[in-house]
Structure 1
Amino acid sequence: MTRTALMAWLLLVPVTGNANDIFLPLLPGQQRGQLRRDTVRDVAAGQLAAVPVPAALPDGRVAVAVVALQDWREKLLLQIAPGPSAPLGPPLTVADGPRAWHPRLAVSPRGELWIAWCGRRDEPGAGDYSRKVFLRRLLPAPAGPSITVSGPGRACRPDLAIDQQGNLHLAWEQWSAGQPGQVRIAYRRLDAAGRPRGGVRLVSEGSFDRRPALAVSAGGVWLAWDGLVNRCPDGGPDPDYDVFLRRLAGGQWGEIIVADNLPGIQAAPALLADGEALILAYHSSRGHDLVKWWHLRRWYRGRWFEPVGENPAEEVAWRGEKQGGEYPAPVRLPDGRLLVVSRSSQGSQVQLVDGRGISPLFDLTRRGWGSRCRRQVAVPAGDGAVLLGRRGRRQPVLERLLVQPGAGPVRWRPLRREAKQVPACRRRQHRAADGLPGFGKGGLVLYGDIHMHSALSDAAGAPDEVLARAWTRGQDFAALSDHDHIVGRPLFPSQWDELAWLSDVFDARPGFAVLHGFEWTGRPVPAGCGHRNVYFAAARPARPCGFSLGCDDTASLVKWLQPYRALVIPHHTSWTGTDWAADERVERLFEMVSVHGVSEYPGNRPIPPRAAAENSRPAFAREGLARGRVFGFVGGSDAHGLLWHHGQARRRDPWLCGLTGLVAPEVTRRAVFDALFARRTFATSGARLAAGLQANGLGVGQQGRTRQPVKISFRVEGTAPLQGVEIVRDGEVILSRKVGRRQLAGSFTDRHPGRGRHYYYLRAWQGGRPPEMIWTSPVFLDIKGE
């Protein structure tokens, strides 16, 4: 966007700087150009609550549905305000859990208010993912008990639309334990009284379809959804999701239409009826560029159109905490303009689309870290007003935005579509570990990232997208480690359940194992105990014991884990520290490297550690080993989907900043967990290097008694010429080799290490920008004499 165009948008003198020119704070009560932020109200005041869902009623009242959390129970509430700027009334209980999630409101032509949601009426056990979709009429008066719309299995994420005859249309995600790797979109119609008219029909045809959206237009009922279309891992930077569209007219479903042929992620559709046309919004990684921005498309008489003009936000080289525009919520204004609300990685923002193009970003959230939401909900409220339900940093809020008259309706141009180039499958041939000292015979060398975040905590991207990326890139195993809480906001029970369910869905894919896990998010040391990831050998517990959910320190966390076979792994300790207080029976590993650098020792080279947070006390691997702690090494990206991890990472692609290598007999959840538990691991900074070390017959991660001298054999395999290989004993380098080739194998005798306990590990690095590193887990020896 040129500076002249920017001035036309804002009607004020533009600010300077690259990102600042198109990322503009909009404070409560403030007006910038055509947009005024009129009213901001807390929803479910005094309660922990999710994103509110508003609806504008024909008589001028405003209804808001919201899910509140009370003692690990989800309670679905409804609040009514007499006017768009009036205070919300006392809450009415719609459903009292223990699971009630993803509410959607719709108003009929007669002014009746209906609500749909998914949940269950009893507490689920671990691994029980069954859910129902429910429907209930709320106004003009609550009409009896809720109606169960769906059948057996997991039915969730409903959307609801009502046609001019008052018929209700519902769509949702449908999953069955009998087909654990498949998710489809289901649909059902009910009449104006809520009576079913026909059974449940599966409308989509993919293997993994999610996030349905409905709209009623003059041409019928439209249903959109997104689906993962990769047939197999292809090595691409992003998984391949497409958005699909299908119309129900005359009781018959039409052909499935593909909305876009771009590679990468096209997901999270939202629909608007526009007379005979249909407007579709979704977010896109724009052909594998990691950070996603919303796109608009118009379907009219069998052709696709796009708005005239480019989104100025896509032209900026983003490096800050707020990046991207996901989960768009478009609203059509009376004069044909569009207002689009989207979620940045750490907040909410709006843009206007009119005859001049697409406006700058108007930021609704103050700068700083912390978000826990996905889609926000925006609805028109008459005369250019828009009601927006979103999550603030600490409290859900209902906003009223006023849009002044502008430059006329959106101008559309035909969309140029090119045939998608489908990459070939890149099936991994696992190498045997026989040539790596210290790993025994018969095992396979496997790689995976077990430290990744999604939009369910403080990151970008849906949780399934994160797992799909690991699978697409050819990793053998993975884990989602979303925060138990972030900035005072905990995971809700349905979010905890969704993470578990998705882990099992992707674990069902051949050749791919997914661990159950989460991040226990303590305060930095010394005020707290640092951050730790927790992983389970089998199904995750029915509820977490997080920092704000009963486990406030390391001792309480370890006590809670006693009934489970679990692992605890401290991470980014150079930044937030660790207390070294966890029981070694569960804290058997240490995360050496991530987007936060390397936590091996202060001043580590060639990859440095991240500087300590304010008022924190850093900790390093060698410090823990010197205390006599026994642990192996792993790597994990700790990626949050932000380019350069908001300036902290050494790579633009944050998913390439940490990786765990291990040796296991097969690619299964149990085998991967057993290898981690046994410390049969090595850590890399992201590339697939491999290394092994053996000392007096003992392998990596093992402990044993022996006598001196210590005979060491090792091998390192790089992906580029190695620059250096070192053997470390008790924090000191006792062997150093300059290499210049991709592989190095050798042996070495440490003749007089001395009596007592010692540890040995290998570290190596190779050239490149940035360089890559690898560390084997230590071998622990108790030397008794000659």
Structure 2
Amino acid sequence: MSISPAITVGEGIQCNYPVICLFDQRLYVALTHQQDDRESLRVFVFDEDLKALDTRTALSDFPINSRPSLGSDGQRLCIFWLRKSGRTGEIVFQDVNQVSDTSPQILAPVSGNSGWIRTASSPEGDMIVVWQDGSQKPYQCRYSLLKDGKPGPVQTLTSEFPVRHPDVIYGDNAFYIAAEQDTKDFQPQIYLTRILKNGRIDKSIRISDHPAGNYHPSLALSQNGDLVVAYTSPRKGKQHWDMPRWVYLSFYNGRKVRHLDPLPGMDLTKDLTDQSLEYPRLAALDSGQLFLTGRPSQNFFVQVRGEKGFEKPYRLEQDGWGGRGLTVELAVRGHTVYTVRRDLREVILQKIEVRKPESRMDKLKSFPASGEIPELKNSSYQNYRDVYPKIMGKTVFFGDLHHHTAYSDGIGDPDEYYMRARDFLGDDFFCLTDHDHFVGRPMQPGDWQMMKDVADYYNAGDSFTTFYGIEWTTGRYPNSGYGHRNIYAIDPAMPLIDHTRDPWKTSKDLLKEIRVFDGIAVPHHTGWTGTDWENADDISQPMCEIISNHGAYEYMGNRPIQHRGGKKGSFMQDGLAGGHRFGVIGSTDSHGLIWHHRAGYKRNCIRSGLTAVITEHLNRESLFQAMKRRHTYATSGIKLFLRFECENSMQGDVMTSHRVPEFSVECISPDPILRIVLVKNNSDVYEYGGDGLRSRFTWTDPDPIPGQESWYYLRVTTVTGEMAWSSPIWITPLI
């Protein structure tokens, strides 16, 4: 395999989502280009030696122009894309030769999380375009047949389940659409649907059969006419789920489905930055070889079928932590594969010459698909909102407010995270917080609108609640920034925040500006990247994340859960000593990596921190107002009940009292309780030994200081090493 030098396409970090197509002996690359709060669509033209020939910009008066796809019917090359203004928009298309001069044709109105556009053509020149439509629940897959460049009626794959992330190919005198379908909670399967050339649905075939879930299919047509489907699955063994995922291949010959044996190089035990493999793209070469690409957590790879089967993965250039795109897109001519990808800080175009087999290729080892999907054998996580007692008439709700997807520097797609929290982890609420602008990748306006659309899709009244969130990611305090803060809101007007642009550059400006949309800021891993307590605003910053996979940040040298880094003056107790009032939360800060690439304290990269909110109702308004009132506590991932009261006040409250402060404590834990420590003004003043799974006690402060405010909070440790912290109660005794 011979790889050409990398060619940069476009203007660096502002470019993303490139796609590629060969047409009329020229190479076309389309991508999105960000300029402040707008996205434009650009097309770059090259010859087959990668010499630049032309650049075009699509004509559009919409602020968001994203997710392009290129497709040819043999006579013309068309570009399809999603254009939006806010939540609503359109799937549109135009001939690339007219894209700069003529407004595009509207294919279909859409709203919500729509896009993921793919095309295919028949030898006779019929073209099909498919896309994900999130305008309503459940997600739908729409398609339209184009003849002579004119679209036919928009049709829908019939399914009672959500259908996402389609791909399409022509073969066996028909079009085939592969897509995810959520036939069971948290267990999407890949289905293949045959579409006749008149647009009628012929039949649908289930390809995958593992209960851990299967995602992001890609299609190719083998030399013998079999359809090949590549997809990602976070499976472990035959019936278990785990966070590491890999790419799997299945074959369909028109009658039966067979699964290929695991690919060489598959390693689900990796714990550094090249963990997992996802977002596959697949192509067939003239020789019958298959060319596979994918995305490990922090780079890209290619894998080719040779004489003896698939070779080991080859890692493309630019290893290292950073924000990348999702896929390596492909265009094939003979044994030459043209690739384009959004890598670290730039879009890269390369030509790969694949070595032809010198002898007949061995038959790939495979096994028949199962007729049924077995039950998932993972232990289920319990939902506790109807199990634990009330606190002053209010319910304790549990959720996680800090996760990263492949849209910044994590893995997985947003839908997967929400489904897992709702259906597998049994959480009450959830929020994604991808980075605003980090390690060479700014969040683009289309990405931000998509994140809000996905949050809205899964927000479901009194059963599961979601928020809007983004991580404001400046440099480490005090040398190069103000540390990291997550920004949360429930107002759909919450704008895209970018710390490299006004008015979001300083922490003071940030905390001032988020009041416009009633947002709140939460600093996290403060002892690692630091935080500027002196600029903290207790109204805009009512909480601090005390625990995540980076460790616990109550105080320097925290035990038994330790912490990453050690920046003096940046821990929770430092903020309290500075006179600030804030509650505590726990969140995982997951990037999808077990052991957080050896920097985390726990293998479990989806349950390293958890937030408990005490409020009346499970909805956005009730939860959000409770967080602003600091009615929260934090755990290291365990769903533990913690009641901490003084008179008529609970954790997070500020009170005065004409009596000596007397506290009532109750803790119920799934794991045996080792100890409960009551902390006053950052000093441990009382320790209560655990009483198994439930502990209750009262404590009266023997040394109250009349007229002087003190803060009190709880620290809980279980025999298994899990921890929890209450938010403080601030009390001024008037005695």
Common fold by TM > 0.5: yes
1:682 counterpart (627, 633, 656):
633
Retained in 1: the 8 A contact 2:539–2:628? no
Which of 144, 147, 151 pairs up with 1:196?
151
Corresponding residue number in structure 1 for 2:515:
562
Alignment partner of 1:579 is 2:528: no
Give the partner amino acid of 1:494.
Answer: G
- Structure 2 counterpart of 1:242, from 189, 210, 222: 189
Cα distance in structure 2, aligned partners of 1:141 and 1:549: 32
Corresponding residue for residue 729 of structure 2: 779
Whether contact under 8 Å (2:248, 2:262) holds in the other structure is no
1:143 deviates by 8.7
Amino acid paired to 1:483: H
Q: Distance in 2 between matches of 1:636 and 1:54?
A: 39
CA contact (8 A) 2:245 2:268 kept: no
Structure 2 residue aligned with 1:598 = 552
> In terms of mean alpha carbon deviation, does 734-743 or 543-552 score higher?
543-552
Asked if structure 2 preserves the Cα contact closer than 8 Å seen for 1:224 and 1:244, the reply is yes
* Alpha-carbon distance in 1 for matches of 2:298, 2:501: 21
2:491 to 538, 547, 556: 538
Q: What letter corresponds to residue 674 of structure 1 in structure 2?
A: Q
Query: Structure 2: how far apart are the matches of 1:434 and 1:360?
Result: 55
The answer to whether 1:763 aligns with 2:720 is no
Whether 1:131 aligns to 2:128 is: no
3-state SS of paired residue (1:132): strand
Can you list the C-alpha shifts for 1:703-747, whole angstroms capped at 9, x where unaligned? 012245211111111111111110000111111122251111000
Alignment of 1:175 with 2:175, yes or no, is no
Q: Which moved more, 1:92-101 or 1:561-570?
A: 92-101
Looking at structure 2, the residues matched to 547 and 589 of structure 1 have their Cα atoms a distance apart, in angstroms, of 24
Indicate the residue corresponding to 1:277 in structure 2.
226
Does 1:257 find its partner at 2:200? no
Q: Which is further off, 738-747 or 593-602?
A: 738-747
User: What is the distance in 1 between the residues matched to 2:336 and 2:156?
Assistant: 37
**Partner of residue 48 from structure 1, selected from 14, 18, 23:** 14
Q: Distance in 2 between matches of 1:730 and 1:405?
A: 72
Residue in structure 2 matched with residue 109 of structure 1 by the alignment: 74
- Residue 77 (structure 1) aligned to one of 25, 32, 42: 42
TM-score for both structures, normalised by structure 1: 0.88
TM-score with structure 2 setting the length: 0.94
Q: Which amino acid aligns with 2:264?
A: P
1:276-425 correspondence to structure 2 within 5 Å: 276-286=225-235, 287-307=240-260, 309-315=261-267, 317-382=269-334, 384-406=335-357, 408-409=360-361, 411-418=363-370, 419-422=372-375
Q: Deviations over 1:70-109 (max 9, x none)?
A: 1221111111112333235334445464211111112323
Label 1:72 to 1:538 Cα distance change in 2 as closer, same or farther (>3 A). closer
Question: What residue is the counterpart of 1:236 in the other structure?
Answer: none
* CA-based RMSD: 2.2
2:481 is the alignment partner of 1:528: yes
1:353 Cα deviation from its structure 2 partner: 2.2
Runs of 4+ in 1 over 6 A off after TM superposition: 140-143, 424-427
AA partner of residue 22 (structure 2): A
* Change over 3 Å in CA distance of 1:735–1:331 after alignment to 2: same
CA contact (8 A) 2:7 2:348 kept: yes
- What is aligned with 2:181? 227
2: distance between equivalents of 1:697 and 1:416? Answer: 64
TM superposition shift of 1:652: 2.0
Given the alignment, which residue of 136, 145, 157 partners 2:116?
Answer: 157
Amino acid at match of 1:131: G
How far apart are the structure 2 equivalents of 1:145 and 1:539? Answer: 29
By how many angstroms is 1:429 displaced?
5.6
Residue 157 of structure 1 deviates from its aligned partner by: 2.0
Amino acid at match of 2:122: D
User: 1:19 corresponds to which residue?
Assistant: none
- How far apart, CA to CA, are the structure 1 residues paired with 2:3 and 2:108? 39
* CA–CA separation in structure 2 for the residues paired with 1:774 and 1:139: 61
Q: State the SS of the aligned residue for 1:289.
A: strand
- Relative distance call for 1:730 and 1:708 in structure 2 (3 A) is farther
CA distance in 1, matches of 2:389, 2:421: 26
Structure 1, unpaired ranges of 5+: 1-34, 232-238
Task: Tell me the amino acid that sits aligned with residue 559 of structure 1.
Answer: K
More displaced 10-residue stretch of structure 1: 654-663 or 160-169: 160-169
**CA distances 1:645-681 after superposition (whole Å, capped 9, x unpaired):** 1112232221110000121212111111122111111
Listed as ranges, the matches of 1:641-680 within 5 Å are 641-680=592-631
Aligned equivalent of 1:751: 702
Distance 1:410 1:404 in 2: 16
Going from structure 1 to structure 2, the CA distance change for 1:713 and 1:547 (only over 3 Å counts) comes to farther
In 2, distance between residues paired with 1:568 and 1:183? 32
| Offset at residue 116 of structure 1 (A) | 0.9
Which of residues 119, 123, 139 in structure 1 aligns to 2:83?
Answer: 119
Q: Which amino acid aligns with 1:479?
A: C
Contact 2:56–2:100 at 8 Å: present in 1 too?
Answer: no
Per-residue CA shift, 1:156-186, capped at 9, x if unaligned?
222112222222211111233xx4x321101
Query: In 1, Cα distance between the equivalents of 2:502 and 2:241?
Result: 38
Cα 1:139–1:563 shift into 2, 3 Å:
closer
Distance across 1 between alignment mates of 2:691 and 2:461: 39
Q: Which residue of 2 is the match for residue 4 of structure 1?
A: none
Query: Which residue of the other structure, out of 622, 625, 634, is the alignment partner of 2:573?
Result: 622
Q: String of CA shifts for 1:39-67, please: whole Å, max 9, x gaps.
A: 310011356100321112242x2111111
Change (3 A) 1:202 1:267: same
* Matched residue count: 720
How much has 1:139 moved relative to structure 2? 4.5
Distance 1:622 1:501, change over 3 A: same
Structure 1 residues 395, 489: CA separation in 2 closer, same or farther (over 3 Å shift)? Answer: same
Structure 2 match to 1:632: 583
Return the match for 2:460 from 499, 508, 516: 508
Taking the aligned partners of 1:229 and 1:713, their CA distance within structure 2 comes to 47
Determine what percentage of the aligned residue pairs are the same residue. Answer: 26
Q: Distance in 2 between matches of 1:77 and 1:649?
A: 40
Distance 1:219 1:508 in 2: 43
Question: Contact 2:244–2:268 at 8 Å: present in 1 too?
Answer: no
Do 1:297 and 1:304's aligned partners in 2 also have CA atoms closer than 8 Å?
yes
Letter in 2 for 1:389: V
Q: 1:262 to 1:146 in 2, by over 3 A?
A: same
